[in-house]
Structures are given as structure tokens and as C-alpha cells.
Amino acid sequence: MRVTVFSAQPYDRRFFDELVESRPVDAELEWVYQDAGLSAATVALAEGSDAICVFVNDCLDAEVLEALAAMDIRAIVLRCAGFNNIDLETAHRLGLFVARVPAYSPEAVAEHALAMIMTLNRKTHRAFNRVREGNFALDGLLGVTLHGKTAGVVGTGRIGLCMARILKGLGCEVLGHDPYPSDAFSAHGDMVSLESLLARSDIVSLHCPLTEQTHHLMNRETLATMKPGAMLINTSRGALIDTPAVVAALKSRQIGALAIDVYEQESELFFRDHSAEIIDDDVFARLVSFPNVLITGHQGFFTVEALREIAQVTCANLIAFAMGDDCPNRL
């Protein structure tokens, strides 16, 4: 089976190729790597394939899906958990097989959120630069002791649960909010309403999926109800936050710090080197200018363990499709 991999990075090749070398069953898969992201302009690159493999910022709207179906490409495997970038209704109407990797090291994303909290709080990014320049002054590096602070986890699924466990380990009082609460969370903290969580938390970490209900969950109104000076962390999906509203909340000092691993307009920027270019996105440029904002380029998942798991489950999804077997990861 020939599979065109869109948005392919060197690390995607490494982990897929490793698998093909180690397991004969996966050698049935022929990988064609394309640097380009998937869009209506690039979909033709998949011509001659049986399936495509895509990532978070590839566009799978109706136009792209129709084009795939017209080329007789019957399977789409997402090498990620979130599936907000695919028009599932159209995919189902066209009879396309769509599968994802539902969980790959949720600890990896939660640990990255922790790294962001720690960096923003203790300003280790600034300390690193200062010490290299022989500047050992502490002014401007003041943090708070996290032990005893209140931390809110919005979305207490796989990643949110790991986050709650980590935060409890730090000695924080942990609050959770989820319309479908799980019993497992009660070992780490209390489930409360979103209003109560936002009003009480010194740190709010977002771990819910992007849906119509969660789009701009953090907007002008909800940001105003947060505890003044609180820290907001988003490692989930960019559009959970109304970015101009969060810029305003940072300027008014309502928000004390912001860390984002995801950004609403990230498809224009992330996973590519733009260091020699002028970035046209003024909202992004404004965010970068704040000393209390930390941005990483969607790297929460980026650990060896997670990439290995993604490669394995993606191959298993493709093989299930090829054999006509039931696939638990089918959408």
C-alpha cells in the first residue's frame, strides 16, 4: 500500500522507517514523504497513493476530501489525536476511512505544560541568557512558590488527568472542570463549575478538545472572571483562546502570564523555520513582545516515546484498513 505523508518532517521519516525495518508486517507500506502541508493546492501530490497520512495543520476540508476521493484514495490516517482539521461529515459521505492516534504519551503533553509553568514562574529562560552574559542579578526573576497554590484543569481526560496528578504532586490544590467528569479525577482534586475554577485558580491549564462549544472558551468575558494575575496555559488547540482578547488581558494586567504551545493561526507559522523572514502576523508579534508570555511551536507531544507510539498506531490503522479489519481508532 502506497501512503503519501503530508507535512513530513525528518523525525516522521525516522520513526516510520525504524518501524518498517523492525517489523516485516509494516514493510508492506510504501511511504512517500512530502514536505508540503495538505491543502487544495497540494492535494495532487497524493496521486497514485492508496492512503494519505496527515498531521494537525493539514487541511481536510470538503474540497480536499472530494479531490482525494476523485483520485480513488480511500484512507486518511491522522498521526495526531485532535481531529478538528477534518470535515468528518463529508469524509463519511464519501465513504473514506479515517483513523487517528487517540493517545500517545499523554504524560508528554502534561510534562510540557509543567515545563511551561515552571519556566514562566521562575523565569529560567531569562536566567539562562543572563548567566551566559555574566549577569547574575536576580531582579526581575522573582517567582512564587507553587506549593499551596490553586491550579485549575479544564478538560480532565487523558492529558488533563496527568496534569492533575503532576500539579497535586507539586502540592497545589487542584480543581477540575469537564462536562463528562471521570471518577479518576477525584483522587487528585475537586470538580467544579468553569466559573468557580476560573475565579479561584492561580494557574489555569486547558486540556479540552477544540469543538464548537470550546471555540474561544477563553474570551473577553471569561478572561475577566479569572483571578487577577493568574497564569493561563494552553497546550490543547489554539482556537480555545480568543488571541486579541488575551493580548488585551495581558496589557491590562488581568492575566499575569500566558504560555501557549498552540496558536489559532499556527498553520501559517509552526513546524517551519521562518527565522530569515518577516512575520506578518501582528497579533503573534505582539504576543512575543511580552516578557510574561512563553510560546512553543506545538511541541507538547514531541518525545521519543510519543513518536514511536504514533508510528506504531498509524501503521496498525493502515493495516486494519488494508485487511478490512475493525479499527478501534476509526472516526
Residues interacting with ligand NAI, by CB under 6 A?
81-82, 103, 106, 109, 154-160, 177-180, 207-210, 213-214, 235-237, 261-262, 298, 300-301
> Smallest gap, in angstroms, from Cβ of residue 164 to ligand NAI?
11
DSSP-assigned beta bridge partners for residue 51: 3, 75
Alpha-carbon distance 169 to 223, whole Å? 27
> Smallest gap, in angstroms, from Cβ of residue 211 to ligand NAI?
6
> Smallest gap, in angstroms, from Cβ of residue 296 to ligand NAI?
9
| H/E stretch holding 120 | helix 106-122
Q: Please identify, using beta-carbon distances, which residue of 26 and 178 lies nearer to ligand NAI.
A: 178
DSSP state of 184: G
Q: Please identify, using beta-carbon distances, which residue of 29 and 116 lies nearer to ligand NAI.
A: 116
User: Phi/psi of residue 267, each to 5°?
Assistant: -65, -25
Q: Please identify, using beta-carbon distances, which residue of 49 and 205 lies nearer to ligand NAI.
A: 205
Burial state string for 9-31 with b = 16 or more CB within 10 A and e = fewer than 16: eeebeebbeebbeeeeebeebeb
| Catalytic sites, residue numbers | 237, 266
Measured from each CB, the residue nearest to ligand NAI is: 157
DSSP state of 253: T
Q: Please identify, using beta-carbon distances, which residue of 136 and 180 lies nearer to ligand NAI.
A: 180
Alpha-carbon distance 301 to 12, whole Å? 13
Rounded to the nearest 10 degrees, the angle between the axes of helix 124-132 and helix 106-122 is: 60
> Smallest gap, in angstroms, from Cβ of residue 251 to ligand NAI?
26
Alpha-carbon distance 156 to 196, whole Å? 16
> Smallest gap, in angstroms, from Cβ of residue 322 to ligand NAI?
26
Q: Is 256 helix (H, G, I), strand (E, B) or coil?
A: strand
Burial class of residue 259 (count of CB atoms within 10 Å of its CB; 0-12, 13-18, 19+): buried
Q: Please identify, using beta-carbon distances, which residue of 6 and 29 lies nearer to ligand NAI.
A: 6
